[in-house]
Structure formats: C-alpha cells, structure tokens
Amino acid sequence: HIESLRRGGAYEEADYAEAGAAAARQIFNVSNVALAAGGAFQVVEALTAAQLANRQDKINAALRRAVSAYDETSRVPAGDKAGDALLRMATIYDERLKDPNAAMAAWLEIVRQFSGTAVAENASWRIAQSYEREGEHAKAIEAYKAFLRNYRRSSKASDAQFAIAENYEHLGQWVNAMDAYTNYINNFPKGPMVQKAREQINWIKAYRL
C-alpha cells in the first residue's frame, strides 16, 4: 500500500502511512530513540499552527524518519531521554496529526518500558484520557484504575478516581458509580470534587435506583 502510494506520486500520504504503520507495530528500540530522532522532532515542534496546514508533508516525513530511526540506532545508547522522545512523538500523533491509534501505541510502549517513571505516569494518564475521549468507557475505567494502582501519590490521583465514577455513569452502572464516588470522598476528603461527588450519589439514589 505504501509503495503504491509513492508510485502514484502521493508522497505525503505514503510518509504518514509509513509512520503510522510503524507506530502501530510498535517497532521501537526505545533505549536509543533520542539521538536519532531528536532532529526530526525539532522540525515538527518548531512549526506553528499556521505552518502546519502548509507543511503537512514535511511533518509526515519528519515523523517517518523519527519512527524508522528506532530500528537504525540499536547500537547507540540514549539513556533516559528515550522515554521523553517517545512521549513527544505520541503527543505529535495525538494533538497534531489526530491519530489516536498511533499515539496509543507509543503510550503503551512507554508504560511497558519505563514503568514507575514520571514519563510513564504521564503516558498512563494519557491512555486513560484517550479511551474516555473515544467513548470507550470500560477501557477508560480499567486504565484509570491502573493509574491509581501504580501512581497513588500522583497529583492526578483524585482526578482518576472521580473519572472512574463518571465513566461508570456513562455505562449506566449506577451502583459502581456510587461506590466510586464514595471512594473519592473517603480517599480524597479535601479533593475539589467532594461536593460534586455527594451530589451525584444523591442524584443516583433519587433517580436511578
């Protein structure tokens, strides 16, 4: 498919397809990504929103180079910068190219390779938010629960607990939603959403049970 696009002159589409396919396959040599991919990321991140519309082909080419670099730099150590580079790549996919599948592949790889680190905490949070944004509420609940298990002391822990309750509501699982709101009140008594949690519990009791 990619080669046929190139033969037909659709170079921009081919570059993006290759970058997306590489991310989806998770061909990441994450310990070495930063040195090889840094230049490509700088090209992308230097562009303004206005330039994005006119230079999409260059963005896609930069992403393609960044992704393919994973396989080309396996003998060059890059230390702790690899996780940061992967996170930057995922952000580009998610926020600029609107490709949630490619972004998810990168976030999952970060969580797998860098568990317990700040960059993995960030990726774990983004995974849960992405599922919720896409309307995959059951997956969002599991992702938020995983975030709480692994990053209980995170500043986002209370937000994760509240999000669990909200996603249960989206699924119509009212008892589970009440339990989740109750957990929020008990575990985060000074949280900013305590009053809202109480209101939701009362609303569920009055109108849904």
Which domains occur in the chain, in start order?
Answer: 1-114 (no CATH), 128-209 (1.25.40.10)
pLDDT(181) > 90: yes
Condensed to tens digits (0 to 9), the pLDDT of residues 107-123 reads 998 898 888 999 999 99
Nearest Cα to Cα of residue 63 among 105, 113, 126: 105
pLDDT(40) > 70: no
Condensed to tens digits (0 to 9), the pLDDT of residues 120-163 reads 999 999 999 999 999 999 999 999 999 999 999 999 999 999 99
Question: How many angstroms separate the CA atoms of 141 and 35, rounded?
Answer: 36
Question: How many angstroms separate the CA atoms of 63 and 206, rounded?
Answer: 52
Dihedral sign of CA atoms 79, 83, 85, 86 in order? positive
* Global pTM exceeds 0.75: no
Nearest Cα to Cα of residue 168 among 150, 181, 155, 151: 181
